[in-house]
């Protein structure tokens, strides 16, 4: 490492002395340097040389957001020190490392460094931690920044540097600082001219539809690249969202232009193929490199003079409500698009062509969403618990953990037995954290090996890992292809499987074949256990499944998996179409027996009694469920808890008061009593109770108590139960005056008792006009607070007047009524003076 560094032409080389001086002064530094400035290759080596000169032991750990970037950076940095990779400068990524015992610089993925810091908060093996490309805001990078900052505060001699081309420098300076912000050093460079143009597709072509990136748009990208290479003074880099799009665009370009050299670059390719693209010498024929967004960061591809940017990015998205995760294709951010375009002008003037409309550019997000805001946090929460900050409490993060996602992650880890009720790591949690995979997969490995053996458990868990799942919806077929070496990822998968098997306990081979595969998948994702629905989704084109998580998903009816009653789902994702109502599609799975499904998801098994109250009778059933999947239902006696839930449900559905679906009958006697109480509560107030719908809902359990015992015994509630319940609310001793204050009937001048109708706005009595002769004073009830209205009827029962002022009626209205009606009803009395006439229900005596 003491050898003289090459790379004098790189912009950072002129600032290495400044960087070392800043580090020597405070051990904390934030470096801003544009792409291609040499920061990734030169700064780690310069820091290592400075540490060696001072006799400081320990390595320089330099994080990269991706494995391909870590390998490439190590190879490039080694060439600048005239050494072979692994001697002075090496790398460690998941499943692979190339580093000697004397090496001083180690490039790692951020996840590797995060795990090291969680296990050793003092970073005993490191003299410096350099966090590169922190602007990408991957979850592992954010955690590594936070833990490295804490390690730096615990060790005065630990150097901590954050580097990026575009970052919120002040934010990271504050995070790395100890009492005061870390210094910021900006490396400026004379950039080559860059011409940016736009090449949107024809209007009839949309970039995205329900299935993802459209074939029409990929054809447009391929055509644009073909056009640009004819005018470019060098190679063309085409950036698309994922490996599938890389293959399609590369194939289209190669078929249309057989004279071109077309290279592919994405994270799933074997390392040798990746390095071949990165180390390529200038070719005699035009070259096109079709790549995913891995070229946004530390990778430099020589000879690139033009970038054709699809304008799309594949980002993680996790549906916390449904427990579904995956990658979503979205429009790239402005920062990402700027990074991509800059690849064309690293070595000479260049050109960037964006395959979107220029009017779309101002609408793009300024920066990509940080993964911490959109990802599953189970692994992050486990790491923080291992470090000693349960739930992220007590540690400064670039962004805090979102509350809902954090709570779901904690619940998931508790379900795995990894955290106790206080959120602290358990012994099981320590074992899970020691396995370098997602905690769900770690659980599947450790517990699954007991019944399928360590080798098979390791193979299946390696297959379930993000980068080596294989192709097709049948996981068993994918495993077979891996074993035969027929999949491009077979070699990487084989190394990963062998490494994971070493963590697995010794077990039996109790389960074999598809049962063994299904068992491990179900242990990893018990919430994804699914049972086929009785009805299919979208007719016969797709088959719907109900998931233990409470959501639903579908699979093409043509898939042989669609015939399975139960599935253990390995991969599921949200989509805008080609799904059931939940919008979820089963990407990969394996059939599983009901017995194995219930065993694997045993911690999700619940038993409950459900009760419904219909037509005055409680009907209860004992329900046994796997999460949200109902497995069995049998009739049983109701219990207090289920009855209480039934009443709560009735309250929520407004089924307490009178109505066609009320759980109690409401005979007329009950309705009358409720109306009388309503009047007294409004007119007098306390102690007369409020029996409005809202109050009945609020106190349902109390006033419903009289019917409770009958329901518990399974007997029908009598029709008068609502009347009894209302009577129980009567205040004592005031209840003795109920008939006085709110009488059911009113005596008319004729001597007949007429019923009072309390159902209207005011109480009302209906009486024939002839029964009310001489009645002058309007009756009052409720201690004189309420007038009783009178409906005066003609002999046929039709209303002649609706009045609360009888005096006015007799003096002013009656003469006109008499003139109109006495001819129609001659048998009934119509005296000129109603004040002196005898009230009567009878007709006039018959004349002889």
Instruction: Return the HEC string of 706-770.
Output: HHHHHHHCCCCCCCCHHHHHHHCCCCCCHHHHHHHHCCCEEECCCCCEEEEECCCCCCEEEEEHH
3-state secondary structure of 601: coil
pLDDT at 433: 93
d(CA 555, CA 565) in angstroms, rounded, equals 13
pLDDT digit string, tens, across residues 154-189: 998 999 999 987 667 788 888 888 878 889 998 877
Q: Indicate the pLDDT class of residue 466, thresholds 50, 70 and 90.
A: low
pLDDT at 298: 57
**Least confident interval from 36-40, 420-424, 587-591:** 36-40
User: 156: left (phi > 0), else alpha (psi -120 to 50), else beta?
Assistant: alpha
Please tell me the predicted confidence (pLDDT) of residue 3: 44
Omega before residue 651 within 30° of 0, cis: no
Residues 11-186: name the CATH superfamily. Answer: P-loop containing nucleotide triphosphate hydrolases (3.40.50.300)
Mean pLDDT for all residues in the chain: 85
pLDDT surpassing 60 at residue 569:
yes
- Angle between helix axes 513-524 and 439-452 (nearest 10 degrees) is 150
- At 50, the pLDDT band (50, 70, 90 cuts) reads very high
- Nearest by Cα to 571 from 478, 504, 485: 478
- The predicted model gives 811-829 an average pLDDT of 90
User: Do residues 446 and 503 make contact, with C-beta atoms less than 8 angstroms apart?
Assistant: yes
**Least-confidence region, from 9-18, 127-136, 406-415:** 9-18
Contacts of 203 (CB under 8 A, 6+ apart): none
The per-residue pLDDT for 85 is: 85
The DSSP secondary-structure symbol of 258 reads T
List where CATH 3.40.50.300 sits in the chain. Answer: 11-186, 194-370
Q: Which residue has the higher pLDDT, 383 or 663?
A: 383
Structure tokens at 783: 């201690």
% the chain with pLDDT above 90: 35
Whether the pLDDT of residue 708 is over 70: the answer is no
- CA 495 centroid distance within chain: 33
Q: Which of 176-180, 341-345, 690-694, 770-774 has the highest mean pLDDT?
A: 770-774
Structure confidence at residue 210 (pLDDT): 64
**CA angle centred on 214, ends 251 and 239, rounded to 5°:** 55
Instruction: Give the span between the Cα atoms of 834 and 260, in whole angstroms.
Output: 115
What's the CA gap between 827 and 311, in Å, rounded?
Answer: 95
Task: Spell out a b/e string for 629-657, using b for 16 or more CB atoms within 10 Å of the CB, else e.
Answer: bebeeeebebeeebbebbbeebbeeebbb
Instruction: Please tell me the distance from the alpha carbon of residue 744 to that of residue 750, in angstroms, as a whole number.
Output: 18
pLDDT at 449 over 90: yes
Q: Which CATH class is domain 194-370?
A: alpha beta
Predicted local confidence at residue 126, as pLDDT: 94
The per-residue pLDDT for 608 is: 87
Most confident of the following: 83-87, 271-275, 451-455: 451-455
Burial (0-12, 13-18, 19+ Cβ within 10 Å), 219: middle
And the tokens for 116? 């090291």
Which tokens hold the place of 762? 């005011």
Mean pLDDT confidence for 145-151: 93
**Region 298-315 average pLDDT:** 84
Task: Tell me what pLDDT residue 442 has.
Answer: 94
pLDDT value at 537 more than 60:
no
Mean pLDDT of 618-622: 83
Mean pLDDT of 83-88: 87
Q: What percent of the chain lies above the pLDDT cut of 70?
A: 88
Q: Has residue 709 got a pLDDT over 80?
A: no
pLDDT of residue 325: 61
For the stretch 358-375, pLDDT in tens is 999 999 988 888 888 888
- More confident call, 525 vs 721: 525
- Among candidate residues 587, 580, 573, 574, the one with its CA nearest the CA of residue 532: 580
In angstroms, the CA 655 to CA 693 distance is 10
């Amino acid at each position: 490492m003491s050898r003289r560094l090459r790379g004098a032409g790189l912009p950072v080389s002129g600032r290495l002395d400044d960087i070392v001086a800043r580090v020597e002064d405070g051990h904390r530094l934030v470096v801003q340097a544009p792409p291609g400035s040499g920061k990734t290759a030169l700064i780690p080596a310069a820091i290592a040389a400075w540490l060696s000169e001072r006799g400081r032991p320990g390595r320089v750990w330099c994080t990269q957001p991706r494995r391909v970037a870590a390998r490439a950076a190590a190879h490039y940095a080694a060439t600048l020190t005239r050494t072979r990779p692994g001697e002075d400068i090496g790398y460690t990524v998941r499943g692979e490392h190339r580093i000697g015992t004397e090496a001083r610089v180690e490039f790692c993925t951020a996840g590797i460094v995060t795990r090291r810091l969680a296990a050793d908060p003092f970073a005993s093996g490191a003299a410096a931690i350099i966090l590169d490309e922190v602007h990408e805001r991957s979850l592992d990078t954010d955690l590594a920044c936070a833990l490295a900052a804490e390690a730096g505060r615990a060790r005065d001699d630990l150097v901590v540097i954050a580097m990026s081309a575009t970052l919120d420098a002040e934010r990271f300076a504050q995070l790395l600082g100890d009492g005061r912000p870390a210094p910021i050093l900006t490396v400026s460079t004379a950039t080559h001219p860059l011409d940016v143009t736009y090449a949107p597709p024809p209007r009839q072509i949309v970039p995205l539809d329900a299935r993802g990136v459209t074939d029409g748009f990929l054809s447009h990208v391929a055509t644009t690249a073909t056009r640009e290479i004819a005018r470019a003074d060098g190679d063309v880099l085409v950036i698309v969202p994922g490996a599938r799009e890389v293959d399609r665009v590369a194939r289209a370009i190669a078929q249309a232009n057989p004279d071109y050299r077309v290279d592919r670059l994405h994270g799933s390719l074997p390392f040798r193929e990746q390095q071949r693209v990165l180390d390529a010498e200038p070719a005699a024929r035009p070259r096109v490199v079709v790549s995913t967004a891995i070229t946004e960061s530390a990778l430099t591809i020589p000879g690139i003079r033009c970038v054709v940017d699809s304008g799309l990015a594949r980002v993680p998205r996790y549906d916390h409500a449904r427990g579904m995760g995956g990658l979503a294709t979205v429009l790239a951010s402005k920062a990402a698009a700027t990074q991509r375009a800059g690849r064309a002008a690293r070595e000479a003037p260049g050109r960037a062509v964006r395959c979107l409309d220029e009017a779309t550019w101002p609408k793009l997000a300024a920066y990509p969403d940080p993964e911490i805001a959109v990802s599953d946090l189970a692994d992050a929460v486990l790491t923080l618990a291992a470090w000693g900050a349960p739930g992220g409490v007590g540690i400064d993060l670039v962004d805090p953990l979102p509350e809902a996602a954090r709570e779901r992650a904690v619940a998931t880890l508790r379900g795995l037995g990894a955290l106790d009720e206080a959120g602290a790591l358990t012994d099981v949690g320590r074992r899970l954290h020691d396995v370098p995979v997602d905690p769900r997969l770690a659980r599947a490995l450790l517990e699954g090996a007991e019944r399928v053996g360590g080798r098979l458990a390791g193979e299946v868990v390696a297959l379930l890992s993000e980068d080596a799942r294989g192709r097709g919806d049948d996981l068993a077929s994918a495993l077979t292809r891996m074993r035969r070496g027929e999949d491009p990822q077979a070699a990487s998968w084989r190394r990963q499987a062998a490494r994971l098997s070493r963590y697995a306990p010794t077990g039996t081979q109790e389960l074999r074949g598809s049962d063994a595969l299904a068992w491990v998948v179900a242990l990893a994702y018990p919430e994804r256990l699914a049972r086929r629905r009785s009805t299919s989704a979208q007719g016969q084109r797709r088959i719907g499944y109900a998931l233990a998580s409470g959501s639903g998903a579908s699979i093409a009816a043509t898939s042989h998996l669609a015939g399975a009653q139960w599935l253990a789902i390995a991969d599921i994702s949200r989509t805008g179409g080609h799904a059931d109502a939940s919008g979820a599609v089963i990407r990969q799975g394996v059939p599983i027996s009901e017995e194995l499904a219930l065993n694997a998801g045993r911690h999700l098994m619940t038993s409950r009694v459900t009760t419904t109250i219909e037509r005055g009778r409680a009907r209860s059933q004992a329900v046994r469920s796997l999460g949200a999947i109902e497995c069995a239902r049998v009739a049983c006696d109701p219990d207090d808890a289920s009855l209480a839930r039934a009443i709560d449900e009735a309250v929520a559905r407004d089924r307490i008061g009178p109505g066609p679906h009320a759980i109690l009958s409401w005979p007329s006697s009950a309705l009358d009593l409720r109306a009388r109480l309503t009047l007294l509560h409004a007119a007098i107030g306390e102690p007369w109770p409020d029996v409005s719908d809202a109050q009945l809902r609020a106190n349902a359990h109390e006033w419903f108590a009289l019917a409770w015992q009958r329901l518990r015994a399974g007997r029908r509630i009598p029709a008068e139960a609502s009347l009894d319940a209302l009577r129980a609310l009567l205040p004592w001793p005031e209840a003795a005056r109920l008939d006085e204050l709110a009488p059911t009937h009113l005596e008319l001048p004729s001597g007949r008792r007429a019923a009072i109708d309390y159902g209207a706005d005011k109480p009302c009595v209906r009486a024939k006009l002839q029964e009310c002769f001489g009645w002058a004073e309007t009756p009052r009830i409720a201690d004189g607070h309420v007038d009783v209205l009178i409906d005066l009827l003609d002999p046929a029962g039709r209303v002649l007047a609706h009045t609360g002022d009888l005096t006015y009626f007799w003096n002013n209205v009656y003469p006109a009524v008499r003139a109109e009606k006495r001819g129609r009803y001659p048998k009934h009395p119509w005296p000129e003076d109603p004040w002196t006439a005898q009230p009567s229900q009878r007709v006039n005596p018959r004349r002889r």
